[in-house]
Structure 1
Amino acid sequence: MHYLGLILSLVLLIWFWIRFLNQTFSHFPNQSAKKLLLRGILPLGLLGLYQLVISKFGLQLGLNSIAQAQNFRDYLIFGSYIIAALCCLPLLFRQQSNRKIWLQILIGIGLVIPLFIFGSYEIGSRILIYYLLISTIEELLKFSLSHNSSETSTSTSHTKLLLIAITIGFSFGLTESLLALGLQLFSGESIKTGFLLGRGLLSVMLHILATGSIALAILKLNTVPTRAKYAGALLCGYLLHSSYNLGLHYQLGFISFLIAIGGFIGLSYLLFHLDELYLPASSEKTHSN
């Protein structure tokens, strides 16, 4: 029964995500999906490089030990690396003169800095700060990549940001889940159906929803001043991601249940808006031809 459950879970996951990708790219035949998916893996590469560099220099601070950070220096090392990585993204995409991208990065850094400051002084809250930091940094990296990708796109449609954010969120979440699955296998532990579905479905869905919600909020809040719009959108994604991580850590089952139910509704909502935003452009092309 155990193996049957795993096989059925794998079939469900493969079917679900193939349907999702087909739906996402159904209206965009010229979209370079492979390039976007690879960009979604980049944030994990940046975090992995951090762990490698730290271990090479012999410092007692790796990616998985931030939760046990002992002082402000530990947070400062990690924060400096992330800020440097974020500032390199506009240079990587040759968008160093784009004010909107720098504004988004500065607001994101401004929202992250208080976590570093308060996290080093609040006794007994290091696990909480750890999950908040990881959630905010992951979303900041993913959305920075999405924003850079949309600004360098040949398409002038600002709605492309939503598509790119959804795709990068998917590829990041899938890569993270595959790495977790690989670590589980290499450690000799058995893979349970709950772990497979939780990692393969809920976790990936969470990454899509969190990054996609940031993009959707920016597109929808047209009447809100730019700085407030970006800050509010980033905060929305941070809170969604952090709630899920903290729910898992403290074994709050209802959080996973809400993500499961809300995830399907949220994905449908994002894809509906994706169609709604792009279909007018598609119909205009058809009429012009």
Structure 2
Amino acid sequence: MKIKRFILLMTLGFLIILFGLAPKARAAIVGGTVDTTGTVTGITGATYYNVSNWQDMIDTYKGVTPNAASSNTVFLNVTANVPGNSILNSGNTVSSGKSLSINGNNYTLYLDNDTNYTTAQSIGGSDGTARAFGSNGTISTDTTLTVKNATIVNNITSGIFQMKGLNAKATAVYENVTVSNGDAIYGAQPIRNDNGKVLFRGTNTFNILQNHNINDTSSAGADNQGEWIQGGAYLEVVTGTTTLNQSWGNDQPFYVYYSSGGSTLQVDAGAAMVWNLNRKLQVQVSQPSSSHMNSYS
């Protein structure tokens, strides 16, 4: 009897595998925790999700419907360094009205499709695919994408948030982040926001350095992969100091789309914008007294 039962179980197991009856793997949506004090999210009663890899981050954003207590925001709380992952090869589309906040907790996010951080996705987000969180469609102005308290090694052109097109109008917020290119000559551009707002808070540093050298004035950096910001209808340094260190081929700090309505860079009172550029490029700001430029030539 035991032998027959064993054979029967083996047969059933084979049939399940053969005909695909086994349970399908579920998306890696992690369990949420209510922030009873507001110390993690800044909002008492909001829900946050502890994550340590891109799969969990992307699946949780896709699978969670945030409520009013969370201000319609999916809060991701990073608990370890986040390695590169091939999931970044595929599109991960932002939903209009569904905001995202990533608290890096001073860990490193490797924005890469593998774990070789010296080679980049040279096409990055430029082929129309949102490699991390992005959209080519209609995204409302009440959609906010935030990354804070993180170091990012960037190997994907267009960076972590990629808003492309006339109707992609999300607000991107960078707060206390350091972003540096991993590859020496490809995939360095950290920000793409064609027609939305980009806000900077706290202390931010963006290193876009061909051959990782601010003094390199060659044209080694791949064209259109080393701008600081592509798009940028409205940019604002709200608090603290944001620093740009750039030496990248012939790429300038900005490449503006849909500029018929103008493009604005505002540096608020008490804030500062520091430019360390390896070429003498003209940059106009609304409050020159709050901006300092160094040129290398």
Shorter-normalised TM-score: what interval? under 0.3
The structure with the largest helix share of the pair is: 1
The structure with the largest strand share of the pair is: 2
1 or 2 for the larger relative contact order (CA 8 Å, sep ≥6)? 1
Q: TM-score, normalised by structure 1?
A: 0.24
Q: TM-score, normalised by structure 2?
A: 0.23
Structure (1 or 2) with the larger CA radius of gyration: 2
